[in-house]
A and B are shown apart, each in its own frame.
Chain A
Amino acid sequence: MQRYITKLITMLIPLISIISAQPSFPDNPGQAPIGGLGLLAAAGGAMALKKFRDKHKK
């Protein structure tokens, strides 16, 4: 069960930046968001996963 939750969260975290990049209210200033935040989040998640696994092996 925990593995499913972990996988689900790993897949969903990069989507946060996509969800938050939806069109905003008309009175907000024009946006030019920094690209690739989802990729960065995924890279961070992968880094943490590797560290945890390395710790587990020791």
Chain B
Amino acid sequence: MINLKNKFSPLTLFLLKAGGVYAAWQLIYDLVVLPDGRLDTWLSITGVKLAAAGLSFLGWEIETTGRFIACVGNRGVEIQNGCNGMDLLGLYAGFIIAYSGNMKKRVMFIIGGIGLIFIANVFRIAFFALSNLYYPQYWDSVHNYSSYVFFYPIVLTLWYLWTTMSDHTDIFSGESFSSA
């Protein structure tokens, strides 16, 4: 059996693992999860319901039907498959899985991170509904760049925390890496 730890540097190994996990997730998503549709549908509808509940609680008049959400009397928003944060989860988990660390903490980071990304998506959906109410002319920009505001700060912070917290061994030491 080939020992990959001796064959590649830790960075190469990390990139291979991260790329492999993300590619595998994309394959599973495109070939199984997306055609099946149930998980995507659940994520979209639950996100819409939670966003609607939050906005209603805060005093806005909201109407929802399935994947649609709208402030009453205004243009609605449809949360389609691929717009619900699913593809981001694979990328997030790929990094956490690839970067060495304690397995228990890793599982906690993955589950907690997925939860946070889901909550961020609820806020994003609510923001979409409100942007259609107050600034409908900026819809394209809001939709295109919302990920940079709602998802990426969370993901990058969690990745940073993981690289800082994970108690890995000295990855460039002779134990794990031969430079010959």
Contact = CB atoms under 8 A, between A and B. Distances in A.
Looking at A6, A33, A34, the one whose CB has the most chain B CB atoms below 10 A away is A34
Contact of B88 (A12, A32, A37, A58): A37
Nearest to A5: B12
A25 to B, nearest CB: 9
A29 B81 contact: yes
Contacts of A28: 34-35, 81
Interface stretch (B54-62, B68-76, B139-147): B139-147
Interface residues on A, range: 20 to 34
Contacts of B9: 2, 6
B8 interface: yes
Interface stretch (B45-53, B102-110, B152-160): B152-160
Interface in A1-58: 2, 5-6, 9-10, 12-13, 16-17, 20, 24, 28-37, 40-41, 43-45, 47-49, 51-52, 55-56, 58
A44 B16 contact: no
B87 A2 contact: no
Nearest to B67: A29
Q: What is the interface of chain A mostly: helix, strand, loop, or mixed?
A: helix
A56 B173 CA distance: 8
Interface residues of B, number: 43
A6 B82 CA distance: 30
B39 interface: no
Interface of B: 8-12, 14-16, 18-19, 22-23, 26, 30, 34-35, 37, 80-83, 85, 87-88, 91, 95, 98-99, 143-145, 147-148, 151-152, 155-156, 159-160, 163, 170-172
22 contacts: A6-B9, A6-B12, A9-B15, A13-B15, A17-B87, A28-B35, A31-B82, A33-B83, A34-B85, A34-B87, A34-B147, A35-B144, A36-B147, A36-B148, A37-B91, A40-B88, A43-B152, A44-B156, A44-B159, A52-B172, A55-B171, A55-B172
